[in-house]
């Protein structure tokens, strides 16, 4: 079906295969509603301003992106949700302050790890899309 659309390049071949596979699965299957297909397609079809924005983020560096967007932004958002749920359930059935603090510490660890993984995965996918766009512009 869509295997003929998968292209590989010497550098970043794994990224490009994953990005192309996601595009094939999401855009060529009719089980997704048209609104969702359009929204997802927009993530892969970058405008020139999207490319410039990513170039700016790339210049700031890999770890700046992973820590800033993954660990801090996503991890903090995730902890707000998880910590809020933890505190809410503790108030409904208090098991002691030590139990609450332990659960919040677990929440912090899980959210930091989740943020780190999100930042790494996002960088990997976005950089793969960027590389594909740059290579298509240069005609390689």
Integer Cα distance of 68 and 88 in angstroms: 28
Same domain, 30 and 68: no
DSSP 8-state assignment for residue 30: T
* 66 in the same domain as 132: yes
Asked if the structure places residue 54 within a domain, the reply is no
- For residues 65 and 130, state if they share a domain: yes
CB 37 within 8 Å of CB 23: no
Do the domain assignments include residue 106? yes
Co-location of 133 and 65 in the same domain: yes
Instruction: Please choose, from the candidates 41, 130, 118, 115, the residue with its C-alpha nearest in 3D space to the C-alpha of residue 72.
Output: 115
Phi, psi of 90 (to 5 degrees): -65, -40
Q: How far apart are CA 30 and CA 44, in angstroms?
A: 18
On whether both 40 and 69 belong to a single domain, the answer is no
pTM: 0.68
Q: Is residue 134 part of a domain?
A: yes
How do the pLDDT tens digits run along the chain, 140 residues long? 444 444 434 445 566 666 666 666 555 555 666 666 677 677 777 888 888 999 999 999 999 999 999 999 999 999 999 999 999 998 888 788 898 999 999 999 999 999 999 999 999 999 988 988 888 888 75
6 Cβ partners below 8 Å, 6+ apart?
Answer: 17, 20, 21, 24
The number of distinct structural domains making up the chain is: 2
What is the residue range of 123's domain? 61-140
Both 66 and 39 in one domain: the answer is no
123 and 78 in a common domain: yes
What does the alpha-carbon distance between residue 67 and residue 117 come to, in Å, rounded to a whole number?
Answer: 10
Same domain, 21 and 66: no
């Amino acid at each position: 079906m869509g295997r003929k659309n998968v292209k590989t390049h010497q550098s970043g071949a794994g990224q490009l295969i994953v990005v192309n596979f996601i595009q094939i699965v999401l855009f060529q299957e009719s089980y997704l509603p048209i609104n969702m297909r359009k929204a997802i397609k927009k993530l892969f079809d970058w405008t020139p301003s999207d490319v410039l924005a990513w170039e700016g983020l790339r210049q700031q560096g890999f770890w700046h992106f992973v820590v800033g967007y993954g660990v801090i932004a996503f991890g903090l958002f995730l902890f707000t949700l998880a910590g809020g749920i933890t505190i809410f359930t503790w108030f409904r059935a208090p098991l002691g302050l030590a139990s609450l603090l332990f659960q919040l510490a677990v929440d912090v660890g899980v959210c930091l790890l989740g943020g780190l993984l999100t930042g790494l995965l996002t960088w990997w996918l976005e950089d793969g899309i960027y590389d594909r766009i740059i290579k298509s512009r240069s005609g390689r």
